[in-house]
Structure formats: C-alpha cells, structure tokens
Amino acid sequence: MHKADRRRYITTLLLISVSILVAIYISITNGSFDITVSNVFRTILRINPTEDYDLVIFDFRLPRIVIAGLVGFGLGIAGAVIQGITRNGLADPGILGINAGAGAAIVLFMFFFKDKITDTGLLAIMMQPLFGLIGGLIAATIIFLFAWKNGKLDSQRLLLTGIAIGSGFGAFSLYISLKMKASDFEMATVWISGTIYNANWIYILSMIPWIILFIPIIYKKAYLLDLFQLEESNLKSLGVSVEKEKILLLISSVALVSACVSVSGSIGFVGLMAPHIARRLVGLQHRYVIPICGLLGVLLVIVSDFIAKTVFAPAELPVGIVISIIGVPYFLYLLVKTKT
C-alpha cells in the first residue's frame, strides 16, 4: 500500500508539473503581442536578443508568471496547514479573514510609511511582508480566541468569526484607502481585489526569503498535521506539545500568506480548493498533500491570471476575481456537502 501511495504521488506530481509547464508556455507566448517559443528561448538564452522581446518577456510576462507561481504555491500550502490545524475542511486564509488582516496592515503601511522610507521603494517593498505578518497574526489570534469553546476550536464558530473579522478588516482597508491620494487609492483598490498586474523582480525578491524560510519548517512538521486529526488527549499521551506545535505551524502559514498578500493583494479560495483536490489525488498523508497543494496553487493562479489578462483585453480583471468565480461555487458545494 505504501508503494502504491508513493507511485500515485509521483504520477500526480509529474502530471501537475507538466500542466504547469503547459500553462507557462501559453502565458509567456500569448497575449496582445504573440511570441514564438524559439524567440522566447533566444531571448532568455541571450541569442540575438531584441529590445522588444526583452521588454515583453523580462519586464512584463516572466515576472508575472513567477509571482503567480509563488503566490499560488504559498497560498496552497498555507491552506493545507490551516485546514490541518483546525480540522476544518472549509478553512482557508481568505475565508477566515487572515488575508484581510494581512492586507489591512499592508494598506496601513502603504498609507503611512511607503513613500517616506526610501526613494527607490526597495526597502518599502521588502518590509511589506513583515507588516502583513503582524496583521495576519492579529487577525488569526482574534479569530481563534472567539472560536475557542470548551477547550477546543469550534468549527462553526471558526467559520462565522473568520467571515466577520475578514469583513471588518476589509472595511478598514477600504476606509484607509479612501484617505489616500487619488492615484494611490486606485492602486490600493485594485490591489485589495487581488492582482499581480504590476509584478516585478523586486516583488519576487521580497517573497523568496519567506518561502525559503517557512516552507521547509512546514514540510518538516507535516507528520504533525496527520496527528492533529486525532483527539488532543491522544496527542498528549504521545508526547506531542500540541499548542506549541500548532502555534509554530500557524505562524509559518500566516507568514506565507502575508508574503503572498504583500505582492498580490487578497486572493481567496486557493487555500480552500488546493487541499481538497490534493487529498482526492494523493490521499490524506500531509507529506504528500503539501507539495501537491503547492503545485495545484501554482497551476490555479497562473491559469487564472492568464484568463484575467486576456479574456477582456485590452481591459484586465484582477486575478482574485477570476479565482473567486471558480471558488465561490466550490465553497458552496463543500458547505452543502458538509451539512449533509
């Protein structure tokens, strides 16, 4: 059985990886300015490069694809962790309000500090995930305090509290954005909707340290997410420091969410859908589920971003709206399925 699970995991991994490569190929070659594969490779390998291809590939499409991949990877894994900690299949960083808390802190930072730190904006962009972490942790703490009942997390209270707290932080973000200058308000409003239209290499640089630091921690602790499905009394008898481990995993997942929100705004439902699909594909063991969640998130965000920038061209939808169009029906389906 162990060999069969591993074979299924490797097959799924390969199939999703191939799908991601196909999505990258379509995204990098198609758009308002079509490019052939040979020209893409010539430009990347610096074989007779041209200014037009350099601009389209290195300044517009490639950063956007990389950001979409990193955001999807982080949100997918964070969703798996949060669902594992809460033992609630409806949990998601967006639905629970963690995205909104991180987003509110970043909007505050943009309003008060971003233009004052440095002329280049590099330090400001690098600091955004840190502010997002603070906001996300505040939101998560409030949600968990209200959802705690009789010594454990109540699933219904968790969901309702998360929606309420998320709405509150969302309204606060909108209020702060209304105080901004007209140009900054437009940027903040689009960003709150969830978008990566202004992706650049500095944003990628700001995300990479968080990805490198926290994903290995989560993967190392993946076996604990399996154990968390047991009763807490059983866990304590096994010598597991339950609250300490939950806090460490929660901080790691909120840090990933904060890094993603800092460059893409509030993109919901990735962390909801990816774990459910991953568990259907590779089973319940989190050492298999977590990598698949990350790759499914990559695929979902890259494909959604391509749809967002091409379907209504020359106008462009925020990628968060495209994902919500998919995610809302899926969430309602899970809600009905859970009740029945």
Q: Are 82 and 159 in contact (CB under 8 A)?
A: no
Among 72, 246, 262, 236, residue whose Cα is nearest residue 153: 246
Q: Which helix (H) or strand (E) holds 153?
A: strand 152-153
Q: Any idea what DSSP says for residue 57?
A: I
Query: 10 Å Cβ neighbour count for 241?
Result: 12
Place of tokens 């439902």: 269
Per-residue pLDDT of the chain (340 residues), as tens digits, is 477 888 999 999 999 999 999 999 999 998 878 888 898 989 888 888 888 888 889 988 999 999 999 999 999 999 999 999 888 888 888 888 899 999 899 888 888 876 665 544 667 777 888 888 899 999 988 988 888 777 676 767 888 888 899 999 999 988 888 888 777 777 777 777 788 877 889 889 889 999 999 999 999 999 999 988 877 667 777 777 877 888 899 899 999 998 999 888 889 899 999 999 999 999 889 999 999 999 999 999 999 999 998 887 777 888 988 999 988 888 888 877 766 5
Q: Are 97 and 163 in contact (CB under 8 A)?
A: yes
Who contacts 339 (Cβ-Cβ below 8 Å, separation ≥6)?
Answer: none
For the domain made up of 2-339, the CATH class stated in words is: mainly alpha
Among 235, 262, 297, residue whose Cα is nearest residue 81: 297
How far is the C-alpha of 306 from the C-alpha of 312, rounded, in Å?
11
Per-domain residue ranges for the chain?
2-339
Tokens representing 171 are 């309204």
How far is the C-alpha of 309 from the C-alpha of 241, rounded, in Å?
47
- Range 70-91 burial, b when 16+ CB lie within 10 A, else e: bbbbbbbbbbbbbbbbbebbbb
Taking CA atoms, 225 is separated from 83, 84, 231, 249, in Å, by 9, 5, 12, 9
